[in-house]
A = this chain, B = another copy of it.
Amino acid sequence: MMATTDKKAKEGPRSKRRMILDAAIDNFGQVGFEHTKWATIAGQVGIGQTALYHYFESKSHCLLTIMSPELERSVERARKAAVDHDAPDQKLRAAIASAFDVTAREALQARILLSHQDLLVAPRPSEREEAERQRARELVRQIEQEWAAILRQGMDEGIFPERDEMVMVRLVLGLVNSVWRWYRPQGPRSLEEVSEIVADAVLRIVR
Contact = CB atoms under 8 A, between A and B. Distances in A.
Interface of A: 30-35, 60, 111, 115-119, 121-122, 124-125, 164, 167, 170-171, 173-175, 177-179, 181-182, 189, 194, 197-198, 201, 204-205
B174 A174 contact: yes
A203 to B, nearest CB: 9
Nearest to A121: B32
Contacts of A124: 35
Contact of A111 (B118, B122, B174): B118
A33 B118 contact: yes
A119 B32 contact: yes
A118 B32 contact: yes
Which 7 A/B pairs are nearest by Cβ-Cβ distance?
A: A174-B178, A115-B118, A204-B204, A201-B205, A175-B175, A32-B118, A32-B122
Nearest to A58: B34
Contacts of A181: 117, 170, 174
A141 to B, nearest CB: 12
Contacts of A174: 174-175, 177-179, 181-182
A33 B173 CA distance: 24
Contact of A117 (B115, B121, B170, B197): B115
Contact of A171 (B30, B60, B117, B198): B198
A198 to B, nearest CB: 7
9 contacts: A31-B122, A32-B119, A32-B122, A170-B178, A170-B179, A171-B198, A173-B178, A204-B204, A205-B205
Contact of A182 (B170, B175, B198, B205): B170
Contacts of A33: 118
Contacts of A173: 178
